[in-house]
Amino acid sequence: MLDKIMAPPCLLPDIRDAEYCSVVLQLPLDKTEDQVERDLLAKASSLGIRTTLPSIESEYRRNASVALSDSVDSVSQGHVASSSSEGTSSTYLTPHSSIFGPPSPRTAESAVSHFAVYEKYLAERHVPSESSASNASYKSRKSSRSSAVGDGSSQSVLSVSTTRRGLSGFTSRMLRKKPTRTFEPTLCCQSCRKDLTKLASIHNLSCGHAHCTDCLRLKIHQACGDESLMPPRCCSPLQASTIQALLEPAGQEAFVKAVIEYSTPWELRMFCTNASCREFIPHRQPLDPKAPFSATCPKCHTRLCVICRSAAHAIGKDCPADAQVETSPKTSGGHPSCKRCYRCRSLVKRSQESTQLECACQAQFCALCGGLWDSTIGCPNICSSDDEIAKRRDSNSNDDTGGSKRQDSAHDPAMQDLLQSQEQEMVRFCRFMAETRASLLARSSEQKLALSQEHQEQENRLKEEHTRTACQLEDAQIQEEMELRASLEQSERSIRVRIKHMEAYCEGLSHPDPQGTHMPPRVVTEQNLRDLGSQYNIRDSMQRRHEAKINMMRDRQSKRMTELVEKHEDELYKLAHGQQADRDELGTAHVRHSQHLSNAIEARKARLTARWHMATEVLCRELEDRDGVKYALLPVPTWSDDQGQEAACAQSPAL
Please, where are the H alpha helices in 362-412? 386-401
CB 197, CB 574: distance < 8 Å: no
CA-based nearest residue to 263, from 144, 120, 138, 112: 120
Residue 339, number of CB atoms within 10 A of its CB: 23
Which H or E run includes 416? helix 413-507
Which H or E run includes 211? strand 210-212
Residue 159 scores a pLDDT above 50: no
Residue 643: band (very low, low, confident or very high) from pLDDT cuts 50, 70, 90: low
CATH class of the domain comprising 187-263 = alpha beta
Measured torsion, CA atoms of residues 591, 445, 578, 470, in degrees rounded to the nearest 10: 170
What is the rounded CA–CA span in Å between residue 106 and residue 108? 5
pLDDT tens track for 463-476: 999 999 999 988 88
What is the rounded CA–CA span in Å between residue 602 and residue 300? 10
Please, where are the H alpha helices in 628-637? none
Residue 454: band (very low, low, confident or very high) from pLDDT cuts 50, 70, 90: very high
Max Cα separation, the chain?
172
Which of residues 526 and 65 earns the better pLDDT score? 526
Residue 133, number of CB atoms within 10 A of its CB: 16
pLDDT tens track for 526-551: 887 788 888 888 887 888 888 888 88
Burial of 523: CB neighbours in 10 Å, binned 0-12, 13-18, 19+: exposed
Q: For residue 65, what are the contacts with CB-CB under 8 A and spacing of at least 6?
A: 110
pLDDT score recorded for residue 488: 85
What is the rounded CA–CA span in Å between residue 429 and residue 435? 10
pLDDT score recorded for residue 141: 47
Average of per-residue pLDDT across 414-435: 89
Residue 144: band (very low, low, confident or very high) from pLDDT cuts 50, 70, 90: very low
Q: For residue 354, what are the contacts with CB-CB under 8 A and spacing of at least 6?
A: 367
- Report phi then psi at 332, rounded to 5: -65, -25
- Report phi then psi at 8, rounded to 5: -65, 160
Average of per-residue pLDDT across 62-90: 37
Amino acid, single-letter form, for residue 577? H
DSSP category for residue 85? S
Average of per-residue pLDDT across 196-220: 77
CB 440, CB 593: distance < 8 Å: yes
Residue 648 scores a pLDDT above 50: yes
Residue 145, number of CB atoms within 10 A of its CB: 10
CB 612, CB 421: distance < 8 Å: no
pLDDT tens track for 97-106: 333 333 333 4
What is the rounded CA–CA span in Å between residue 122 and residue 110? 19
Average pLDDT, the chain: 73
Residue 82 scores a pLDDT above 50: no
CB 206, CB 234: distance < 8 Å: no
Is residue 195 helix, strand or coil?
strand
Which H or E run includes 261? helix 249-263
pLDDT score recorded for residue 324: 81
| Beta strand ranges found along 360-485 (DSSP E) | 364-366
- Report phi then psi at 237, rounded to 5: -60, 145
Q: Are strands 202-204 and 210-212 parallel, antiparallel or unpaired?
A: antiparallel
Please, where are the H alpha helices in 508-525? none
What is the rounded CA–CA span in Å between residue 537 and residue 208? 72
CA-based nearest residue to 258, from 105, 103, 108, 128: 108
Residue 654 scores a pLDDT above 70: no
What is the rounded CA–CA span in Å between residue 545 and residue 548? 5
Residue 314: band (very low, low, confident or very high) from pLDDT cuts 50, 70, 90: confident
What is the rounded CA–CA span in Å between residue 483 and residue 477? 10
Domain spans of the chain, in order of start: 187-263, 420-506+525-647
CA-based nearest residue to 293, from 333, 322, 262: 322
Is residue 118 helix, strand or coil?
helix
Residue 254: band (very low, low, confident or very high) from pLDDT cuts 50, 70, 90: confident
Residue 482 scores a pLDDT above 50: yes
CA-based nearest residue to 285, from 100, 73, 113: 73
pLDDT tens track for 263-310: 888 888 888 887 777 888 887 667 777 888 888 887 777 888 888 888
Residue 452 scores a pLDDT above 80: yes
pTM, to two decimals = 0.50
CB 561, CB 473: distance < 8 Å: yes
Beta bridge partners of 280: 271
Residue 461: band (very low, low, confident or very high) from pLDDT cuts 50, 70, 90: very high
DSSP category for residue 514? T
What is the rounded CA–CA span in Å between residue 233 and residue 225? 15
Amino acid, single-letter form, for residue 46? S
What is the rounded CA–CA span in Å between residue 127 and residue 119? 10
What is the rounded CA–CA span in Å between residue 266 and residue 256? 17
Is residue 522 helix, strand or coil?
coil
Which letter, b or e, does each residue of 369-385 get, where b requires 16 or more Cβ atoms within 10 Å of its Cβ? bbbbbeeeebbbbbbbe
Is residue 506 helix, strand or coil?
helix
